Amino acid sequence: MLAIRLDRGAVLLRHQPKPRRPAGFALIRLLYGGICNTDLELQRGYYGFRGTPGHEFVGEVVEADTARWVGQRVVGEINLACGRCDWCVRGLGRHCPKRTVLGIVKHPGAFRELLTLPERNLWRVPGEIATEHAVFIEPLAAACEILEQVRIPKGAQVAVLGDGKLGLLIGQVLHASGGEVHQYGHHKDKLKLAADVGIDARLARKLPKGKYTWVVDATGSSEGLGTAVQMAQPRGTVVMKSTVHGMVAIDSAPVIVNEITLIGSRCGRFGPAIKLLKDRRVQVDRLISDVLPLQKAPLAFRHAVTPGALKILLQPR
């Protein structure tokens, strides 16, 4: 079968045997994979990564211990947790210290024709959700994670910095949950996608200082955090959603003087994301920039870093 491999910056195609399916795991045929900024960071050396990336996917179960999974269209939570530690017992397997992570830490990713995941990680994709839209469940869950971490009052103004793939999902999630979202970005065409679903989208030229109680940094840039801190009110909260490889320089003085709270935010539960898509409260169709065959992954990765690109999907033949 065909698998993508990242190795010191290169995107390689490999022919590999079908993966072994351990007990409790499902063998899944890839339908679509989505390229995330984290994949691009992995390509650049984040985590010293070498191997098969891919953690956004929708697939069809080919084999499983539990018969009812076979033939189902599924997505999967990406943290493979031990299921027994204190974190897992608290329902926070995504912080399990023994976890591996699909396509990121010690478990080969989804950018291959067949992949494996524990059955307990799987979610059935409801019939109302188109297959290519289901790829967005993972990043949408990451956007929804914000709502699990902070309680934003209905009607509160929230600045979302960034008009990339994740930023646009976050804007929609916060908008759907009742926030008055101000989405800031540098790309008119991307901001239009936000504006078209009713979000107040603004070109990030002169950014207001000290204005917002809630700011989300989804710029994906090392400067985003400092900008977000500047835009926050005293005692305000900045949600950190930009995974940046390497050190980030921040001026800690305004954080301390204004008593800003910074909250790191990563993966989320799939349930709320599936519900948002099923209820059509979030639009993802226009976030798909291109669908390319898996064997064109090197091109797809190049395409994904171009300024105009949003989500690039990979599809086996």
Given the rule CB under 8 A, which residues bind a copy of itself? 46, 87, 92, 95, 97, 149, 210, 225, 234-235, 240-266
The distance of closest approach from Cβ of residue 241 to a copy of itself in the complex, given in angstroms and rounded to an integer, is: 8
Rank residues 182 and 241 by Cβ distance to a copy of itself and give the closer one: 241
AA letter at 30: L
Rank residues 99 and 133 by Cβ distance to a copy of itself and give the closer one: 99
Query: 43 Cβ partners below 8 Å, 6+ apart?
Result: 6, 9, 11, 49, 53, 301
Rank residues 210 and 293 by Cβ distance to a copy of itself and give the closer one: 210
68-93: string of b/e by CB count within 10 Å (b at 16+)? ebeebbbbbbbbbbeeebebbeeeeb
Rank residues 211 and 281 by Cβ distance to a copy of itself and give the closer one: 211
Q: Give 211: exposed, middle or buried? Use CB within 10 Å, 0-12, 13-18, 19+.
A: middle
Most distant pair of Cα atoms in the chain: their distance: 58
The distance of closest approach from Cβ of residue 246 to a copy of itself in the complex, given in angstroms and rounded to an integer, is: 8
The distance of closest approach from Cβ of residue 149 to a copy of itself in the complex, given in angstroms and rounded to an integer, is: 7
CA distance 140 to 144: 6
The distance of closest approach from Cβ of residue 244 to a copy of itself in the complex, given in angstroms and rounded to an integer, is: 6
172-189: string of b/e by CB count within 10 Å (b at 16+)? bbbbbbebebbbbbebee
The distance of closest approach from Cβ of residue 162 to a copy of itself in the complex, given in angstroms and rounded to an integer, is: 14
Rank residues 223 and 290 by Cβ distance to a copy of itself and give the closer one: 223
* 111's tokens: 């950018």
The distance of closest approach from Cβ of residue 260 to a copy of itself in the complex, given in angstroms and rounded to an integer, is: 5
Q: How many beta carbons lie within 10 A of that of residue 150, not counting itself?
A: 15
Rank residues 95 and 120 by Cβ distance to a copy of itself and give the closer one: 95
Query: Please, are residues 112 and 27 in contact by the beta-carbon 8 Å criterion?
Result: no
